[in-house]
Structure 1
Amino acid sequence: MTYNNKPKPDDRSDNAEKLQSMIHDTIENIEAAEESLAFTDSETQRQQIKEKNERRRESIESYRAEIKDEV
């Protein structure tokens, strides 16, 4: 049996745009999570939300560094 699978070409022409969109979405997620803090009484949930937002901020920094590399 012969396979004629060829890898897709590596097209990074719109990579910076995709990364910018990811940054925008991540910022929206941070804002939504911070708004949800007002509705939770659980200290555990509050801590989890804060930790997740910190990881999101780190991701944004990584995305920005990657955009810098792309341009």
Structure 2
Amino acid sequence: MTTPKPDDRSDNVKKIKNTIDHTLQNMDEAEDYVKAHSNELNSADKEDILSKNKRRRETIEGLRSEIEDEANHNG
């Protein structure tokens, strides 16, 4: 029988920041894609991309809140 690993939160902030950076990069790429291909995309595809970026923004807000929680926990 194995024992569970201890909860190591020491690098959580770094991991969350990396996730935020990656998400921001995906948002930029999506916006660039829409701009570059706006004539080729139908309105449904454009709306899908914009909706996804909206969800990404909401996710980033939650991740930033998690960073605050981690900072308070590691205080």
What TM-score results when the alignment is normalised by the length of structure 2?
0.85
Matching residue of 2:61: 61
How far apart are 1:5 and its partner, in Å? Answer: 2.2
Gaps of 5+ in 2: none
Counterparts of 2:18 and 2:65, CA distance in 1:
14
Partner residue in 1 for 2:19: 22
3-state SS of the aligned residue for 2:20? helix
Q: Quick one: which of 7, 12, 34 aligns to 2:9? A: 12
**Letter of the 1:61 counterpart:** E
**CA displacement at 1:9 relative to structure 2:** 1.5
Q: TM-score, normalised by structure 1?
A: 0.90
Taking the aligned partners of 1:14 and 1:5, their CA distance within structure 2 comes to: 24
CA RMSD of aligned residues (A): 0.9
Deviations 1:35-64 (A, max 9, x none): 111214211110000000000000000000
**Residue identity in the other structure for 2:69:** D
Listed as ranges, the gaps of 5+ residues in structure 1 are none
Superposed structure 1 runs of 4+ greater than 2 Å apart = none
Letter in 2 for 1:44: A
